Amino acid sequence: MTLTWIDSLDIALELLEAHPEVNPTQLHFTQLYEWVLALDDFADDPKHCNEKILEAIQQCWIDEK
């Protein structure tokens, strides 16, 4: 499955699996952005990201944790 910026929950689940020790409430958006881009299944234009998208991913991660 290919992930794009609109796949907030799926991205959050991948990040939770990749970084189980991380508290997402303490994560800076710059680090979150880099980790999303580093996901194997992520394939979207890095320029299409904004703060609202990162907030949605972070909130999904918090909810799932």
* Distances from the Cα of 44 to the Cα of 2, 18, 37, 39, angstroms: 9, 19, 8, 11
Per residue of the chain (65 residues), what is the pLDDT tens digit? 899 999 999 999 999 999 999 999 999 999 999 999 999 999 999 999 999 999 999 999 999 99
Q: Which CATH class is domain 8-64?
A: mainly alpha
User: What are the boundaries of each domain within the chain?
Assistant: 8-64
At residue 44, what are phi and psi to the nearest 5 degrees? Answer: -140, 165
